[in-house]
Amino acid sequence: MKLLLKRFPTPAGIFGTFGELYVDGELFCYTVEREWKNNEGYVSCVPVGIYDFLPHESPRYGDCYALEQEKLGVTRYGPSQRTHVLMHVANKASQLAGCIAPGDGLGSVSGEWAVTNSENTFNKLMDLLNGQSTTLEIVNA
């Protein structure tokens, strides 16, 4: 299974970075992340690149997926520039600390641009992945 996240340009004044997640070439959902802030931990979206996408159990988010790519400074446990970069449930960029969240559409939540139905979309993705490791390629569209 191949995952591709295509980020699209975000207009000035919009908080967050949004994209489309493709599974084996088919659009599966939308994503939200924080804005690019020079790969700073917990406040920046992750750099473009190809990541190992690994099943992970987070004390805070439970079963989720973690991104790992040592060459880009992203590992699950460190030491590295970025640790615990996860895909988990969230609707707004302000709810994320350098992670990625899926949703079935784009909209607004409490006046902030967001993805919609994140929990339902995340659960569908988890069912599809079925605990299997894969890769996630992130590109800027």
Segment 115-136 shows an average pLDDT of 98
pLDDT at position 74 is 93
Tokens 């079925």, located at residue = 130
Distances (CA, A) of 82 to 18, 98, 139: 20, 9, 18
pLDDT band at 1 (very low <50, low <70, confident <90, very high): very high
- Position of tokens 């599966």? 28
CATH code of residue 135: 2.40.440
pLDDT of residue 79: 83
* Cβ-Cβ contacts under 8 Å for 92 (sequence gap 6 or more): 16, 32, 109, 110, 112, 113, 114
The model's pLDDT over 32-71, given as tens digits with 9 standing for 90+, comes to 999 999 999 999 999 999 999 999 999 999 999 999 999 9
125 three-class SS: helix
pLDDT of amino acid 11 = 81
Residue range 74-113, pLDDT digits in tens: 999 888 889 999 999 999 999 999 999 999 999 999 999 9
Tokens of 60: 């805070």
> What's the pLDDT tens digit per position in 2-33?
999 999 988 877 889 999 999 999 999 999 99
Residue 19 and residue 8 in contact, taking contact as beta carbons nearer than 8 Å: yes
- Quote the domain boundaries for residue 39: 2-140
Number of domains in the chain: 1
